[in-house]
Structure 1
Amino acid sequence: MPQNSICFMPQEVDKSANPTKEKIIFVTDKKGYLLLSNTKAALTIGVPMEQLLHLNMRELIRNGNISTSYTLQAAQNRRIEQGLVTTKFEAELLAISTPVFDNKGELLYLLTTCVPNPSRNVTPISNPGLKNVQTGTFRGLVLAPENIVAESSAMKSILRIASTISQTDSPIVLYGESGTGKEVLAQYIHRQSNRSAKAFIAINCAALSESLAEAELFGYDKGAFTGAHAQGKIGLIEAADGGTLFLDEIAELPLVLQAKLLRVLEAGEIRRVGSCINRTIDFRLIAATNKNLKQMTEEGTFRKDLFYRLNVLSLLLPPLRERPEDVAMLALKFLKDFNSKYNLSTNLDSNTLSTFQHYDWPGNVRELRNEVEKYVIANIQDNSTQFLAAMSGMAKQISQPNCDYMNSQENYGPLKQAMRQFEEQYIDSVLKVCNFQMGKAADRLGICRTVLYRKMKAFSEAKRSHL
């Protein structure tokens, strides 16, 4: 399977030319594994979307879904390739496959667009400049720093679903433990939606002052209460008009405000405090919580009518401990961010990344981000080991030296144990060389990517059993 699968709605790929909703779009890695495609592609070649993103272009040819693949030719020849492709439904398509390279000339992925064959004659690309603009736009979307890290299959699946539901206006509830990245996912959905040009307003319901919550959310007219601004003030919900309203920790919203929010969702209108005028408002609501809203309705702490109004679409974000494949890539992303912030060039050593990989992360992504920041700041000090040892939490574990197994006289024991420990150290070393890119490391080790994940999980469980 491909090592990097960044999923987003392909409608944004080619805004400078014809609308992409008329095009069939495939994006593959250099080996031909599909990273993403649009719904039109799945329908045209007769493969369900959930299956399509697990296939290789060679499998599509072998299964008779397509007659040939110019994607594979473009990858082999490292140049744009084009030609006619026939699908299993005997539809004839004009396919153009464009390889996209990084600054070092390394092939990153291939973008293939297909349109119904306008004629039997395949004409050369008439505007290479336009093609450069298109692939440049696509490169920017895929490699943008705000894109979500999704190395694990769980997160890839979530992003595929999020990309699909982003094209609707239905309410979404994001469930997940604290720190799993619910607001980041909400922003991702907003960016993929047709409301992306408008505001994304995030509100932490738990942080709202009970006495001023209504005024903050709904706004107020002049003279509404003592201390009010003379001109009045727009509310946060009204500020989201045309865009997306994100209500974090919605379970903490007081019952009286839950009723008012329900009214806004049902009527599409808002009334400021102290006003008698209803204002029409249009926004997309995304809510997030780490609690069971259904259970809260049974306990009487959350309104049933509001729950059923919100309970249209929902996504559950898994905790970081259930997706260890994401840990290293997240850590490296945060490292890059903090190196840039503090103007440093700190590197994460293999011992630290191994510690990160085997830790349970009760605080999830937020805790990981904080630990990476501590690590970067520690490298400003002359003695980073002492600095980390003085820190609380799992930072203490990082300060432990990474002793080579063969240099430790105490570790002379059964051969099976020695082989397992050597294997773990060797895999950690290869992962470091490969910048913790699982696919590349698996290729270098000569094993399947799934085998590598199983081994890392086994190492983690073995360490926990000895704690």
Structure 2
Amino acid sequence: MMSDNNVKRILDSIISTSNNNITVTDEKGFILFTNPNHWWIYGIEPDHYLGKSVYQLETEGILSPSISAMVLKEKTPVQIMQHTKTGKIVMSTAYPVFDDDGELIRVVSYTQDQTEIRKLQDQYGQLEKKIQEYQHEVEELREQEELIYRSKEMRQIAKTIHRVSKTDATVMLLGESGVGKSVFARRLHTQSYRSKDPFIEVNCSTIPESLFESEMFGYEAGSFTGAQKHGKQGLVEQADNGTLFLDEIGELPLDMQVKLLNVLQEKRFKRVGGKKEHKIDFRLVTATNQNLEEMVEKGKFRLDLYYRLHVIPIQIPPLRERKEDIAILINHNLEIINKKYNTNKKLHPSTYEILIGHKWSGNVRELENLIERLILTSEDSIIIPSFLPAHLHGQEFPESNDAPFKIDHMKVDDSDLKTALEQVEKWMLMKASKQCKSTYEMAKSLGISQPSVVRKMKKYKGQVPL
């Protein structure tokens, strides 16, 4: 058999060479064995704890708290996090040792310094928070890309959208066709707490009245001839926890107006042919280009539903009333559509002027479609006015410095090519100087280098504003 001295030597060797701080106390809490190399985390020297009990060290604030003292009291294994005087965070685990009679005779504890791990955890948490912040900023930038504007009216609308998106209030978007109501509706959704749930867009004018109820509320199996075998989920149900956007709400049939009002009030609905009520939770956004108040007076729209929907009305002005946005939208769409079709086409200044002066009855949608048409149908890299549709190309402009340049009206000798070219060059420089904020922007617009712009403007000093 191994002698007690040998057992003690082995035990001392295990404790002293361990990477953990191992401490063994007797049944009264006095330290019998420990690893002296690890007590630096508690800020004391080995001679300070020799012959002392864990209760004394706890009283002195060195062990806060003492895990061995806790095991002596509870007589069960314990694991805790300790904070030391030196600012360290340690994880301690202690186990009771019993003799053959079940009496507690020893407590063995293990301590690991967790300070660096905790720091890494904190740093990781901060990094995750930063990543979330960056992701939020990226999402905001993406949302801003959807809405291209410069006018103060649109800035105010964007602020209002941001403010109300944080609530569940029902929003009604008002404005002519093509002003971007669906874009604003989606922005309401993406900025809301429902952004990770569905955004269901329904154009009320495109669903036949006979199918409206089954499309909106779904149906159970065998509800009618031609129904799907297992039934169908409706658009309202698909929007659960998300946002339901009803575009052209003025086209909603009267009987569907009643059902929609009941859903908004009760937050419940039944499928066609079904008896079971389904709970529903969605944020409602509507849009219309019609005067709903007049429709209410004519009996074509329910007054009670109108009040339900008209909580936060947002009027989006037509493009012709926010001319500051026209130029930036033209440039934006040129860039996007050129990239889409891998082209590099530009507008002649005369073409640009005509588009700026157009009334845009179809608003943003008309502008987008026209730019795409011009890029796809024009043969040259510079889109001149003759490429424009007839209703645009033939419109009249007042005689002024802002009027499109007409070569036929130049008062120069037909043979004097140099003078004619100089007049065209001056006119284009003058137009670019009015439309651009810097010579760099002018260079990009004219398709020449910035030094060339500066040189040409000096050439016509006094004739072209610098």
Superposed displacement of residue 341, structure 1:
2.0
- 1:223 has 2:222 as partner: yes
The whole-number CA distance in structure 1 between the counterparts of 2:321 and 2:357 is 11
CA shift digits 1:359-418 (9 cap, x unpaired):
1111111111111111111235699659825x45426669xx9527898229xxxxxxxx
Amino acid aligned to 1:203: V
Aligned to 1:118: none
The whole-number CA distance in structure 2 between the counterparts of 1:247 and 1:375 is 32
| Closer/same/farther in 2, CA of residues 232 and 396 from structure 1, 3 Å limit | farther
CA shift digits 1:264-307 (9 cap, x unpaired):
10110121101011100111111000111122111111001100
Aligned to 1:353: 352
State the identity %. 39
- Taking only aligned residues, the RMSD between alpha carbons, in angstroms, comes to 3.5
1:426 to 391, 412, 430: 430
Q: How does 1:212-361 map to 2 (within 5 A)?
A: 212-361=211-360
| Closer/same/farther in 2, CA of residues 304 and 244 from structure 1, 3 Å limit | same
The whole-number CA distance in structure 2 between the counterparts of 1:436 and 1:296 is 53
CA shift digits 1:128-158 (9 cap, x unpaired):
9976884575256325674311200000000
Amino acid aligned to 1:338: I
**Structure 1 residues not aligned, in runs of 5+:** 1-125, 411-421, 442-467
| Closer/same/farther in 2, CA of residues 437 and 366 from structure 1, 3 Å limit | farther
The whole-number CA distance in structure 1 between the counterparts of 2:376 and 2:330 is 14
Is the 2:179–2:365 Cα contact (8 Å) retained in structure 1?
yes
The whole-number CA distance in structure 1 between the counterparts of 2:130 and 2:235 is 41
Q: Relative contact order: is structure 1 or structure 2 higher (C-alpha 8 Å, sep ≥ 6)?
A: 1
Alignment size in residue pairs: 300
Amino acid aligned to 1:403: F
Superposed displacement of residue 345, structure 1:
1.9
The whole-number CA distance in structure 2 between the counterparts of 1:209 and 1:262 is 20
Q: How does 1:27-46 map to 2 (within 5 A)?
A: none
CA shift digits 1:317-336 (9 cap, x unpaired):
00000001111111122222
| Closer/same/farther in 2, CA of residues 434 and 296 from structure 1, 3 Å limit | farther
Aligned to 1:394: 392
Amino acid aligned to 1:285: L
Q: How does 1:401-416 map to 2 (within 5 A)?
A: 402-403=404-405, 408-409=410-411
The whole-number CA distance in structure 2 between the counterparts of 1:165 and 1:288 is 16
TM-score, with length taken from structure 2: 0.58
Amino acid aligned to 1:167: K
- 1:211 has 2:215 as partner: no
Superposed displacement of residue 351, structure 1:
2.4
The whole-number CA distance in structure 2 between the counterparts of 1:256 and 1:166 is 30
What secondary structure is seen at the aligned counterpart in 1 of 2:200? strand
The whole-number CA distance in structure 2 between the counterparts of 1:211 and 1:378 is 41
Is the 1:173–1:286 Cα contact (8 Å) retained in structure 2?
yes
Amino acid aligned to 2:345: T
What secondary structure is seen at the aligned counterpart in 2 of 1:196? coil
Is the 1:176–1:318 Cα contact (8 Å) retained in structure 2?
yes
What secondary structure is seen at the aligned counterpart in 2 of 1:287? strand
Amino acid aligned to 1:280: K
What secondary structure is seen at the aligned counterpart in 2 of 1:294? helix
Aligned to 1:461: none
The whole-number CA distance in structure 1 between the counterparts of 2:158 and 2:411 is 48
Aligned to 1:89: none
The whole-number CA distance in structure 2 between the counterparts of 1:322 and 1:402 is 22
Amino acid aligned to 2:296: T
What secondary structure is seen at the aligned counterpart in 1 of 2:148? coil
Superposed displacement of residue 259, structure 1:
0.4
| Closer/same/farther in 2, CA of residues 377 and 296 from structure 1, 3 Å limit | same
TM-score, with length taken from structure 1: 0.58
The whole-number CA distance in structure 1 between the counterparts of 2:274 and 2:126 is 57
Which 4+ runs in 1 deviate beyond 3 A? 126-137, 143-146, 379-387, 395-398, 404-407, 422-425, 427-430, 432-438
| Closer/same/farther in 2, CA of residues 154 and 267 from structure 1, 3 Å limit | same
What secondary structure is seen at the aligned counterpart in 2 of 1:355? helix
What secondary structure is seen at the aligned counterpart in 2 of 1:179? coil
The whole-number CA distance in structure 2 between the counterparts of 1:338 and 1:188 is 22
Larger Rg, first or second structure (1 or 2): 2
Amino acid aligned to 1:394: L
| Closer/same/farther in 2, CA of residues 140 and 345 from structure 1, 3 Å limit | farther
CA shift digits 1:210-258 (9 cap, x unpaired):
1111111110111010000001111111111111111111001110000
Amino acid aligned to 2:249: I
The whole-number CA distance in structure 1 between the counterparts of 2:384 and 2:171 is 45
Superposed displacement of residue 339, structure 1:
1.5
CA shift digits 1:21-62 (9 cap, x unpaired):
xxxxxxxxxxxxxxxxxxxxxxxxxxxxxxxxxxxxxxxxxx
Is the 1:271–1:278 Cα contact (8 Å) retained in structure 2?
yes
Is the 2:348–2:385 Cα contact (8 Å) retained in structure 1?
no
What secondary structure is seen at the aligned counterpart in 2 of 1:356? helix
Is the 1:244–1:286 Cα contact (8 Å) retained in structure 2?
yes
| Closer/same/farther in 2, CA of residues 383 and 354 from structure 1, 3 Å limit | closer
Q: How does 1:454-465 map to 2 (within 5 A)?
A: none
- 1:187 has 2:189 as partner: no
